[in-house]
Every structure is written in C-alpha cells, then in structure tokens.
Amino acid sequence: MRIQLNYDLSAQNTFRMKVSCACYVEYETVKELEGLNFDRLPKPLLHIGEGSNLLFTQDFPGTVLHSNIEFIKYVDMGFEDVPVMVGAGVVWDHFVAETCRHGLWGAENLSLIPGEVGAAAVQNIGAYGVEMKDLVSGVVCFDLQERRKVKFSREECRYGYRDSIFKQPENKGRYVVTSVLLRMSRKYSPRLDYKGVREALGIPGQAGKDGSTVPNPVMADPIGPLTPQQVREAIIRIRRAKLPDPEEIGSAGSFFKNPVVSREDFARISPDGSAPHYDLPDGTVKVPAAWMIDQCGLKGATEGGAAVYDKQPLVLVNASGTATPQEVLALEQRIINGVQARFGVTLHPEVDHI
C-alpha cells in the first residue's frame, strides 16, 4: 500500500492535466482497502482506474484511490461458457489480449480501449457493436458507506449506454469495484456487423441503410473461420488509424456521448436523410456527434494547447502536452455552442469532469 500527500496526478490521467490531490492511496488487496482508516483521509474520496475517462478541472482537495488488485482466474468447467473472475486493477486491454490468445470469444471487439477492468464495468465501455454489459455476469464491490462487501448481478448493475447503477448521482463515490465476473465463450461467435470491421478483415459485405457494412448472408466469413485474435488485430488496426495513441498524445477518448434524437428532429438535422445515423429499437435515432462536430467545421479547432482531433473529432486532445483544464473546457463549450446553434442538439460530455 502507498499513501502520499500532495500528489501530482499528471501520470494518473491520460489527458495529462497537471493537477494534484491532497492525498493519493494505492492498494494491492481488498484487505488493504477494507483496513483503510477512511475517517482520517481528506474528503471527498475519488476512486480512479487508469484515469482514461476523466478531466480534472482543478486540483482535487480530497483523496484519490487507485486499485492494484490484479488477478485473472478462469473457472473452466469444460462447457462453452468460461466464467472468468478479474481483479478491478487489471488493465483492460491486457485482459483482452490474454483471452484472445486463449481463443476465448467475447472481448475482442473491445480491444485497445484504455482503462482498467473496474472502471470498464462502471462505465459500460463499448465499441464496434459490443458493450461490457454483454460480458458481465456480476460485479463485486466494497461499499464505502456501509463498509462491507456487496455483489451486484448483471441486472442489478442497470446498464445503459455508458451508464450503470454505479454512475447514478446517489451512488457517486459509494461503491468501489474490487472484481468483476465475466462470461467468456469458446463458441464461435465473431461480431462483425459494425461498419469497418468486415472491411478490415477483408470480408465482403453489403452496405447497410446507414452506410455501414452489414454481413453478407450468402458469403458468411468467406475467409474461413476467424479467431478472436484475428478480430482483435483488425480492431486494433481500425482504432490505430482513427484514435490518438495515448503514449504520444493526451486525451480521454470520446469526449461526448452520441446524442439520441427523435425521428422528427433527425429529419430536421438531415432533411435528405443522408447523415450517418443508427435507428434504435424504440424509434429514436442516434446521430454520431463526430459527424455534427465535423459539419460545424470544428475539426482541428484549438483553444490554447487543447485541440479537436482531426481524424476523429469526437476526441479532444492535449495537443501541446501543456494544455490546461481551462483550455479544454473552453473548447468543450465552443463545440457545445456550435452544435447547438447549427443542429439544435445539446451534446453531453462522456468524460467525467472532476
């Protein structure tokens, strides 16, 4: 266990904001977490993962906690499903890499998403047609309010788009995820219906209504049975081409959520229907915020050292390496105002503002 006062958080947030916290605690086991003297720690408490979805807007007056609980335990009962218990502090992509190596399906489309397992379960990370909730069987937490262990089934997690019970205002800071039970599978189950994935694998398909590629029913997987590793590699190629390399340039991934609008609003946004969009089962329409930002001419826009990433305008980056929270916030506001003025849609940040 490590406890430090007046700790510099530059290395604890992928946006690389130069901020500090009054106290920083890093623990290795659930026992260490339970044994902490919470009453004596500066408040408020903030539990972070890899800090890949956070924007610190100023120095943090309380205690930042971080888990180093790292284990991956396979419960192989010889069936198709392979339950895996994973410590909250495991780097998500290390887990994906390992399960793909073992030929297990489930996580491959979520390759290269930054962050750790605990935060992935809180945030319900998603990409290329798959969400974390599709894998979660249960989440084990330490309840800071009651100071005891609690378990949540997948249903109890109340997952939604980048949302869960753990993100509800009344639960903010209450539950610390310590491990997650995931259901991986031996059953051949590639998910290739998202735009670009089949192309990246060299599998022909047909264009969907929204311009995406849908599986060609006649030529299902003509390049032969795929492995999770092959799909992982394709996803990595797609992400590397579009998203900034966290080693080189600071960012927190997608900065905004994709807005969901009514069919009438979509007709107003795109009278000829040519804008990219996804029809949702409830009759509403999801419109990529990246497209809206692009249409507003804000690709590459800057505020001081902060910039709209030119290959994927949903991502704001610390282009200079020395951008301040104020510059990022100014850029965020400019985008919200621009999209509001042009489309009458309010963008909401996906990144947590602290």
> So which residues are the catalytic ones?
162, 254, 350
| Smallest separation (angstroms) from ligand EPU to the CB of 313 | 5
Do residues 14 and 51 lie in contact, with contact meaning Cβ atoms separated by under 8 Å? yes
Listed ranges 16-24, 74-82, 286-294, 336-344: which one lies at the site for ligand EPU (CB under 6 A): 286-294
Strand partners, 180: 86, 139
Q: Please identify which residue in the block is written with the tokens 């022909």.
A: 204
- Taking alpha carbons only, the member of 42, 47, 177 closest to residue 118 is 177
Residue spans of alpha helices (H) in 156-311: 197-201, 228-242, 263-269, 289-295
Restricting to residues 21-80, name those near ligand EPU by CB under 6 A: none
Do residues 313 and 299 lie in contact, with contact meaning Cβ atoms separated by under 8 Å? yes
- Taking alpha carbons only, the member of 293, 287, 280 closest to residue 265 is 287
| Smallest separation (angstroms) from ligand EPU to the CB of 248 | 16
**b/e 201-226 (16+ beta carbons within 10 angstroms → b):** bebebeeeebebbbbeeeeeeeeeeb
Question: Judged by CB under 6 A, does residue 128 bind ligand EPU?
Answer: yes
| Smallest separation (angstroms) from ligand EPU to the CB of 164 | 14
Cα 350-263-298 angle, rounded to 5 deg: 45
| Smallest separation (angstroms) from ligand EPU to the CB of 269 | 13
Site size with ligand EPU, rule: CB under 6 A: 17
Which of 18, 137, 294, 322 touches ligand EPU (CB under 6 A)?
A: 294
Do residues 285 and 262 lie in contact, with contact meaning Cβ atoms separated by under 8 Å? yes
Which of 33, 45, 69, 314 touches ligand EPU (CB under 6 A)?
A: 314
In a 3-state reduction of DSSP, which class is residue 227?
Answer: coil
Listed ranges 16-24, 55-63, 144-152, 309-317: which one lies at the site for ligand EPU (CB under 6 A): 309-317
CA distance 279 to 146: 42
Which of 67, 254, 318, 324 touches ligand EPU (CB under 6 A)?
A: 254
| Smallest separation (angstroms) from ligand EPU to the CB of 139 | 19
Which of 48, 127, 136, 316 touches ligand EPU (CB under 6 A)?
A: 127
194, two tokens? 């998202």
Which of 164, 258, 318, 324 touches ligand EPU (CB under 6 A)?
A: 258
CA distance 337 to 173: 30
Listed ranges 25-33, 265-273, 283-291, 316-324: which one lies at the site for ligand EPU (CB under 6 A): 283-291
Restricting to residues 169-228, name those near ligand EPU by CB under 6 A: 195
Q: Which is nearer to ligand EPU, 195 or 198 (CB)?
A: 195
Question: Judged by CB under 6 A, does residue 276 bind ligand EPU?
Answer: yes
Which of 291, 307, 331, 335 touches ligand EPU (CB under 6 A)?
A: 291
In sequence order, the 6+-apart residues with CB closer than 8 A to the CB of 296 are: 335, 338, 339, 342
User: Which residues in this chain contact ligand EPU in the complex, by CB under 6 A?
Assistant: 127-128, 195, 242, 253-254, 257-258, 276, 288, 290-291, 294, 312-314, 350
